[in-house]
Amino acid sequence: MKMMMMEVKVLSRKLIQPSTPTPHDLRNFRIAFTDEMSPTANVPLILYYVNNSSKADDKTRIKQLLETSLAQVLPQFYPLAGRYVEESRLIDCRDQGVHYAEAQVLNCHLHQLLGPEMKPEQLNDLLPCPLYAVDGVTDPLLSIQVSTFECGGMAIGVCISHRIADAATLGTFLCAWADACSLEEGRENVCPVFNSSHYFPGRNLPKLELRIPQTNGQDVPKILTRRFVFDGRAISKIRSKVLMNCENGTTKHQYTRVQLVSGLFIRALLGLDRAKYGRSRASLITHTVNLRNKTSPPIPKHSCGNFCTFAVANCAAEQAKSPGLQGTVNLVGDAVRKTAADCARILNSGEDGNMVIIDSFKHVTEIICNSGGDLNVIMFTSWCRFPLYEVDFGWGKPIWISPASIPAPNSCVMMDTKDGDGIEAWLSLDEKDMYMLQQDHDITTFTAA
């Protein structure tokens, strides 16, 4: 069925405060330098649930449960109910509250969003606030919108400020909220710890700006986000294609799903850039790396904050002339492996360990600033293996999970498909570039939708 013009009508807005006040000694929460360097943006996520009941009173009860359980879980996540004070680099934790909205989706059933006619920019209406509504004195650090479809399905849109949290932190919060809502026995006890500044004390470092550059009000590029789905079979075929070019069909490194899909896009984007400018340009490729499972000793998985760094790959203009798929897969794989090895010593090396993260950030920003604009920057981030499809509020697991349209050019967010075998890649590009990329032979060959 063709996608209808979806309309989202907001019915109510309110602030949800923690069920118990935040203790006075926790009122001023200092952010870490990894928080300082994070993008000036919200991390968006939307969870979609089918209607498992036709009773109107059940729907009312579900909405009441969501609100009540949110208030109950917020004392564990007390910084999220505060407000960021940019001048002081701290969170004012006086229980100002989480923004909470209820909405009705008109002219659209949930199943229509799951079809090929879906346009990511439509999904932004399911989010509670704009992606760049952050860092202001009144901007909530956590915003939620519960949208009900005409079919009875539900979408829970969440925006969490990158100034205090990464995608893994958002996953921890959602799991804890769902557990509090469902009251089901035997679930994992989620015990969040806001301790990023303990590991990485603040340093008044510059933040990362991801907004689209303005060009004196003229010729502002239109950025499109599109979803590319690689199922498990497609991933296997990409791996086989890469191994065909390896000696004896083997390699000393295991290619992950994320590395394979990243390499596929890098090869296509380098070719696209070469065609656009009539020559090969130097490229800078970044991939976010989760620190939690890579340090020694490991940072606990429910540590909240920004526990991530950049893996950086530099691709010289000569190297970008005719890159093969194996070469681009190895390019990103080598960068991630090197960064993972560096991360292992971060906590045992004192100041030198902290500089591993800071230097990576400075390397990226300095290269971009000194390039004079003549640099092809490609950014990847992966939310794969986060337990987002396990977020069950008591009426079943989500049928689908998505980010939204993120207007940051040459950026890609990767997520698991529901079965866990494939990858959904949400790529943002200039409108003309997106049209060209969608004609790329490998992209069209391996994408399922």
Q: Hey, which residues are catalytic here?
A: 162, 392
Cα separation, 271 vs 339, whole angstroms: 26
Helices (H), 114-215: 120-123, 167-182, 196-199
Cα separation, 53 vs 59, whole angstroms: 8
Asked if residues 14 and 100 have their Cβ atoms less than 8 Å apart, the reply is: yes
Which residues of 142-233 form beta strands (DSSP E)? 142-148, 154-161, 193-194, 223-230
For 274, the 3-state DSSP assignment is helix
For 55, the 3-state DSSP assignment is coil
Both tokens assigned to 63: 């909405």
Asked if residues 196 and 93 have their Cβ atoms less than 8 Å apart, the reply is: no
Cα separation, 175 vs 401, whole angstroms: 14
Distances (CA, A) of 309 to 33, 44, 286, 295: 11, 19, 10, 12
DSSP result, 76-105: GGGGGGSEEETTTTEEE-S---EEEEEEEE
Asked if residues 310 and 276 have their Cβ atoms less than 8 Å apart, the reply is: no
Asked if residues 44 and 157 have their Cβ atoms less than 8 Å apart, the reply is: yes
129 half-sphere exposure, CB direction, 13 A CA radius: 22
Which residues of 271-422 form beta strands (DSSP E)? 283-290, 303-304, 308-315, 376-382, 400-402, 411-416
Which residues, at least 6 apart from 46, have a Cβ–Cβ distance to it below 8 Å? Answer: 123, 126, 127, 155, 156, 157, 158, 401, 402, 403, 404
* 112: nearest Cα among 157, 50, 158, 63: 50
Asked if residues 47 and 401 have their Cβ atoms less than 8 Å apart, the reply is: yes
Which residues, at least 6 apart from 321, have a Cβ–Cβ distance to it below 8 Å? Answer: 274, 280
Whether residue 297 is preceded by a cis peptide bond, meaning omega within 30 degrees of 0, is yes
Cα separation, 171 vs 212, whole angstroms: 27
